[in-house]
Amino acid sequence: MTLLLTALAGGLGGAARYWADTGVGRVNRTAFPWGTFVVNTTACLFLGVLAGFVDSHTAPEATLAILGTGFAGGYSTFSTALVETVRLMRAGEWRMAAAQCLGMVVAGVAAAVVGLAIGTAI
């Protein structure tokens, strides 16, 4: 049952990623891939909250698998981020590529730290 629920959550995460990325893309029309940046950063925040909560509370064992591996895994998109970084590099947008790659790592780590603190506190 955990496998089925994880797969379902992954599909929902993928749909949420599409919705979020598309929404950000409608607002932002620059070459910088803000949609992917926002998606991956919020995925780190979500996973941090979830992990902090599961670590500090009694939660069903499958919670992290279903919501973490499933939903957050379907929602986040590391491969897209790297392909977008390479596309920026190919277009000669070296500063934007560096901002995408390094900025996403820094923002993701910061979001995970904040998420863990929130998840532990609630």
pTM: 0.93
Q: How many domains does the chain have?
A: 1
- Per-residue pLDDT tens, the chain, 122 aa: give them: 999 999 999 999 999 999 999 999 999 888 899 999 999 999 999 999 999 999 998 888 899 999 999 999 999 999 999 999 999 999 999 999 999 999 999 999 999 999 999 999 99
Instruction: Supply the range of the domain harboring residue 77.
Output: 2-121
Give residue 99's Cα distance to chain centre: 17
Query: Residue written as tokens 């950063």?
Result: 41
Q: C-alpha angle 108/104/9, rounded to 5°? A: 55
CB contact burial 8-21 (16+ within 10 A = b; e otherwise): ebbeebeebbeebb
